[in-house]
Amino acid sequence: MSKKKIIILAVAAIAVIVATAVVLAVLLGGTSGGKSTELLTKGRRLLSNGDYNNAVLVLNQAIEENPNDPEAYAALSRAYSALGQNDQAFDVLARGYRLTNDLMLRSYLLELDPNFEARLAEVTNAYAPQETVLPPKGELGAKPVLNVELATFLSTATYDDYKRAYSNVTCTMDGNVCLVRANGLPATLRYFDTSSTVVLNASTGEPHGEFLPNEIVLDDISVLFGGVPQVTKSELRTMEINEIQDRSGTIQFRLYNITIEATCDADGTIHSGAEHKMIPEATVPVFVESYRLYGTILDAETAAPVSGVTIEATNQDSGEMLSTETESDGTYELIFSESGTVRMEISAPGYISEVQEVYITSGSTEQVEDFTISQEMEEGQIRLVLTWGSTPRDLDSHLIGTTSSGSQFHVYFGDRVAPDDAANLDVDEMEGYGPETITINDMGGTYEYYVHDYGGTGLISGSGAQVKIYQGSTLVDVVDVPDGLVNDWSVCRIENGQITITNTAYVG
C-alpha cells in the first residue's frame, strides 16, 4: 500500500522555439516569486541526479513562470547538452540572452559557439502582430510573395501564444473538434484529441495551452502568397518550400515546420480559395497526455480484492469530476486531464465509506494507489488497519491487554487469537504495504495497540505507515507515523471502548 498522499511527477514540456518565444516573452512580461524558484530548485536537483528529460520539463516550466531568470536558461541549456541536443541548448541560451542581456549567458554562448553573435543575427525575430493585414487580391500573373511573418508564426505558435498575441480568441466545439478563431487572424485552428494524446481540457472546453493546433485552415490559402489568384508548382520552388509532391489533384509541400495539403490543377497550380489544411509537425511539444491514477481496493479484514466499489473523484483545483467502479479483481482506473488535489469518495454495499485525497502535480503520466476498506461491524467493535510503504518490508501489528474477564493476552503474528475471542489478528502481511489488521470484539477490556519493525531497520518513521481506526460503521481516525521513532510505534490505547490516540514511541 502506498502512502495516503502521493505526488505524481508530471509536466508538459514547453516548445523551445526562438523564432516566436523571444518576442512573446517580452510581450507577456515575466513574473517572479516562489513558484519559479521552487521549479528551478527542483530542475537543478533532477539535473544533478542525471534525470535530464524530467529536468527539461521542469526547467521549461520555471522559465514560463519567470522568463527573466538567467539561471533557469543556463540550467535548461545544460540539460539539453546532457541529452546531446546541442541546437536546443544554444537556442535556450540565445533566448535568455536576448531577453536579459545577462553576461553569464553570453559567456556560455561563447563556449558553445565563438561566433554566436553572427549566428544570432541570422535568427528571424518573427512574431504575430495584433492584426494580420490581408494583402490585396493580386493580378493574374503577379509574382507570389511568401508571407514569412504569418507562416513562421503558424508553424510555431501554441494555443497560449495565440491568446497572448491576439486580443480576442474564441473556442467553439464541432463534435469532438474545438474550432479556434482569433480576431485579426485569417485562419481557423482545429484542435482535437488523438488516440495517444489528450489535447482538449475537459474542464474548460479549451485546448491545453502548450499545444499547437492539429490542423490550420486559412480563410483563403492565397494569404500565404501575397494574395495572388494562383501559385504554380515552379513558383513554389522559388520560395522557402520543400518536399513538393502532387498527385491526383492534390499537392503537398513543407513550409517551415508545417505540412500543407491543397487541391490543385493537373499541373500542380493552386488557386485562391482552394481547399486545404496545414498540419504543424516537428514543433508540437511533448505533453503529459493525461494523469492516470489506478490501483486496487482490498478488504481490510481478508486482504482480498473488492469488486463493485464505487469511486467518485473530484479534482478540487480544476473541478474535473470522474467516477468508476472496481473490476472483479478489485482494480480501478481514473484518468485526469489536469493536475491538482483529487478527493476520492470510496463506497460499497456492506463497507464503511471513506474519503481519500491524492495530490497530483505535473510530471509523469501515471501512479498506483491502493486502498483498504473495512466491512461494517457490530456497534462497538473496533478494527485497526495498518498500511505502509515498500520500506521496511515487514511491519507487525501488536495488541496487548486484559479482557473484560481478566485474561491477559498479546495478539500478534505468533498468537493470532485472544482468549474468549476478545480480539484477533485478521491479516499478517510480510512483504510490504499491508494491510495488517486486528479486530477487537470485547469492548470491556483495556488494550494498547502498537506497531513493531520486524527487521529492526530503524526506518519506521520513514515508512509512510498509517493506521485507520474503525468503530462500528464509522472510520473514526487516521493516524500517520510520527518522526523520530526507531523500531516501535504506540498508536493508541483503548479502555471500555474509548479510544485514546498516543502516536509516540512504544516502550514495552
At 372-387, the pLDDT tens digits run 999 999 988 999 999 9
Domain count, the chain: 4
Name, of 16-25, 147-156, 231-240, 465-474, the range with top average pLDDT.
465-474
- The whole-number average pLDDT for the span 390-407 is 93
What pLDDT band is residue 22 in, cutting at 50, 70 and 90?
A: very low
Residues 31-54: tens digit of each pLDDT? 335 677 878 888 787 777 777 887
pLDDT at position 181 is 94
In a domain, 132, yes or no: no
User: Average pLDDT over the chain, rounded to whole?
Assistant: 81
**Residue with grid cell 473484560, as numbered in its chain:** 404
d(CA 252, CA 260): 6
Q: Is the Cα torsion angle 386, 391, 393, 395 positive or negative in sign?
A: negative
Whether the predicted pLDDT of 11 surpasses 50: no
Please give the pLDDT value at position 502. Answer: 97
Pair (180, 80) in one structural domain: no
Residue 467 exposure: Cα atoms within 13 Å on the Cβ side: 26
Residue 247 pLDDT > 80: no
- Start-to-end C-alpha separation, the chain: 27
Phi and psi at 388, nearest 5°, equal -160, -175
**% of the chain beyond a pLDDT of 70:** 85
Yes or no: say if 70 and 105 are a contact pair by the CB < 8 Å rule: yes
Assess whether pLDDT exceeds 50 at residue 8: no
Same structural domain, 158 and 275: yes
Are 417 and 470 in contact, with CB atoms under 8 Å apart? no
Residues 270 and 298 in one domain: no
Residue 19: predicted pLDDT:
31
- Residue 116 has phi, psi (to 5 degrees) of -65, -30
Domain identity same for 96 and 117? yes
CB 315 within 8 A of CB 338: yes
Q: pLDDT digits over 345-365, tens only?
A: 999 999 999 999 888 765 556
Domain boundary among 319, 341, 373: 373
CA 394 – CA 485 distance, rounded (Å): 16
Q: Answer whether residue 142 is part of any domain.
A: no
Residues 270-295 have pLDDT tens digits of 999 999 999 987 443 434 457 888 89
pLDDT digits (tens, 9 = 90+) for 304-356: 999 999 999 999 888 889 999 999 999 999 988 877 889 999 999 999 999 99
Which of 102, 121, 140 is a domain's end point?
A: 121
Q: Are residues 299 and 269 in the same domain?
A: no
Quote the CA–CA distance of 274 and 176 in Å, as a whole number.
25
Q: Which of 15-29, 443-457, 489-503 has the lowest mean pLDDT?
A: 15-29
DSSP assignment of 1-42: ---SS-EEEE-PPPP--HHHHHHHHHHH----SHHHHHHHHH
CA dist 299 and 374 (Å) reads: 6
More confident residue, 391 or 11: 391
Kindly tell me if the per-residue pLDDT of 155 is higher than 50: yes
What pTM was estimated for this model as a whole? Answer: 0.46
Q: Which bin fits 401, alpha (ψ -120 to 50), beta or left (φ > 0)?
A: left
Asked if residue 476 and residue 402 are part of one domain, the reply reads: yes
Asked if residue 435 has a cis previous peptide bond (ω within 30° of 0), the answer is yes
Residue 21's CATH number: 1.25.40.10
When pLDDT is averaged across residues 250-267 and rounded to a whole number, the result is: 88
Residue-number span of the structural domain to which 464 is assigned: 382-505
Q: Tell whether 156 and 274 lie within a shared domain.
A: yes
Domain closes at, from 103, 121, 139: 121
Give the whole-number percent of the chain exceeding pLDDT 90: 40
> With b meaning 16 or more CB within 10 Å and e meaning fewer, what string describes 301-317?
bebebbeebebebbbee
| β-pairing verdict for 291-299 and 371-373 | parallel
Cell numbers for 425, please give them: 489478528
**If you compute the radius of gyration of the chain from its CA atoms, what whole number of angstroms results?**
31
Q: Cell for 368?
A: 498506483
CA-CA distance, 363 to 291, in Å (whole number)? Answer: 9
Same domain for 231 and 355, yes or no, is no
Q: Are residues 471 and 387 in the same domain?
A: yes
Domain co-membership, 262 together with 325:
no
The residue-averaged pLDDT of 456-480 equals: 93
Confidence of residue 393 (pLDDT cuts 50, 70, 90): confident
Q: In this structure, is residue 420 part of a structural domain?
A: yes
Considering the domain architecture, whether residues 497 and 396 belong to the same structural domain is answered as: yes
In a shared domain, residues 73 and 15:
yes
CA 452, CA 43: separation in Å to the nearest integer?
Answer: 38
pLDDT tens track for 93-143: 888 877 777 777 877 787 777 776 666 655 433 333 444 444 444 444 568
